[in-house]
Every structure is written in structure tokens, then in C-alpha cells.
Amino acid sequence: MSLILPDGLPAIKRLKEEHIFIENCTQTEDRSTRKLRIALLNIMPIKEITEMDFARVLSYSPLNIELTLMKLRTHTPKHASLEHMERFYTYFDELKDEKFDGFIVTGAPIEHLEFEDVSYWKELSEIFAWADANVKSTLYICWAAQAGLYYHYGVPKHQLPTKKFGIFRQKVMNPTLPLFRGFDDTFNMPHSRHTEVRAEEIRIHSELDIVAESAESGTSIVYAHNGRQIFITGHMEYEPYTLDKEYRRDKDKRDDVDVPQNYYIDDNPANKPNVTWRAHANLLFNNWINYYLL
């Protein structure tokens, strides 16, 4: 089947080069085959990279999936052109009456702020409430996982002494969950964050279940309401060189940037990344689609 993206989205050219079958909305207007609709609220700074990351992992499903890009009315991105946002993104208030099967909320580089101090927190809270009432399952990613746990359950975030940066081994705590069908007992997950949520503050909520965690990086996946809410504190969607680009960008700005852990071959930044998470990433998103959206 195919991944259905907005006409002209820049990610399409790159994805086709990777032999991913893409169609546009116009090509599928007359199709009788059912398609799943997934909305992506992309609040990461570099929109085009994030669009491609999620389009890539969603493309492994054998189903027709239409990806709709959502934006906030109360936030103007600094690193995306106005033309790009107007052409490919739609405001939440223009989408809230449409039906979506799944919803994904990305991270954002605003961990230093208290949630209520985020300029678009009120609108984001409205979106979280809308998703909970109208979407079969929502994936909250990285900062959004912390924000979602705080909004829905009052779980606080905490500043880390040093940035959690690299690839960390995770243990599957509930292997019977459909989310982990086909998984090994452990899997790797990229992390890039300055804050954390703590297991002891999650476990006091009977609605929440920590289903994957790490001795090194802590809580990684929290599961609620039979999968209607899934909170992922890392970035399974990352492509191989995302952490490398982040490391080199920050290293050019200051001298105290640590090398991402367990990432480069022989832990040497002169070498290429050792990609150890992509198979489980594809399986995770495919399981989410098959068992939580259908």
C-alpha cells in the first residue's frame, strides 16, 4: 500500500529515493480502499527533518496511511518558512472536527521552561484533551511525553545533572502487550533530553504502566488506558545521523558538549554511527498502527 502525504512536501523526493511508495491526496480521492488518518503535531524546530523521520517509520505499514500535518495558532516557528507552514500545515482549530485514527505529538526544545510558562500551553492543553476524547491512540514523544504526563496525571519533570544523550538499552517490562509483538527482551532507543520523569512518581498512578525502562536512561515508555495514550521519552523515529548533527551543531557553539553515548562505532565521533534501533523502531510504529488504530 502507500503513504499519503501533502502534495509537494519536500520529504517526498527523499523518501522516494529510499524506495518508499508515496502518493498525494489528489491521487487517492477516488479510492475505495480504506485509509488510516494520522495527524502529526510537529513542534520540533526543523520541520522538514521531523516530517521525514515520521513519514519514514509510518511507511512500513502495509496499509494506506494519510499523514496530516498540524500546527498551533498560538505559536509561530522560528526555523520554518512561512510558505512551508502555510502550504503543508493546518491549524488545530481547523482540524478538530475531522476524524483521525491516530495522533502524534513531537518533542520541542523548551525543557528549561515550566509547562505553564510555555507560550502555547493553553492551546496544547486543548489539543491533549481533544486527542483523549476523539482519537483512538496518541503517541507523545520526548518533551511531549513529559508534557502529556503532566497535563493528564500531574507527573512532574526534573532537571538532569547532565544531558541524557545517546543510544540506551531498554528492557521490555510487559512483553505480552501488542505494542511489543515481535520484540526482543531488550531494544535500543535514542535519547536527547535535559529533563526526566521518575518511575516512583509514575507508579503512584494506577492508570499508568511503565512498559519499558532502562538502568541508564530511566523510564522510556509509559502506557495508559489500553494504549489510548502512549508516552515515549526518547526518539525511536530518529534517522541514523540525527544525533550526529545535533552533536556537531552544539560542539560548534560551545566546548562542554559530550559525545553521544553508545552511538558512534568505537565511541569515536570520527566514525559513522552504529545504527542499532531502526528495526525495533519500525516494528514499534507498525504495531501501533495494527493494534491500536484499526
Phi, psi of 185 (to 5 degrees): -65, -30
For residue 69, give the nearest of 93, 81, 51 by alpha carbon. Answer: 51
**Residue 237 falls in the annotated catalytic set:** yes
What are the C-alpha distances in Å from 159 to residues 143, 193, 207, 256? 12, 9, 25, 17
Give residues with Cβ within 8 angstroms of 249, minimum separation 6.
Answer: none
Candidates 66, 237, 239, 280; catalytic one: 237
Please tell me whether 249 is known to bind a ligand: yes
**Residue 19 falls in the annotated catalytic set:** no
Candidates 196, 235, 239, 280; catalytic one: 235
CA distance 278 to 259: 20
Do β-strands 102-105 and 158-172 pair in parallel, antiparallel, or remain unpaired?
Answer: unpaired
Cell digits of residue 27 = 491521487
Q: Classify burial at 125, counting beta carbons within 10 Å of its beta carbon; exposed 0-12, middle 13-18, buried 19 or more.
A: middle
Candidates 142, 152, 213, 280; catalytic one: 142
**Residue 235 falls in the annotated catalytic set:** yes
Please tell me whether 192 is known to bind a ligand: yes
Helices assigned H by DSSP within the chain: 11-17, 47-58, 82-88, 92-95, 121-134, 143-153, 199-202, 242-251, 278-288
Cell digits of residue 276 = 542499532
Concatenated DSSP letters of 151-207: HHH-PPPEEEEEEEEEEEEEEES-TTSGGGTT--SEEEEEEEEEEE--HHHHTT-TT
* Residues in the annotated binding site: 163, 192, 249
* Residues in the annotated binding site for substrate: 163, 192, 249
Give the residue numbers annotated as catalytic, written as ranges.
142, 235, 237
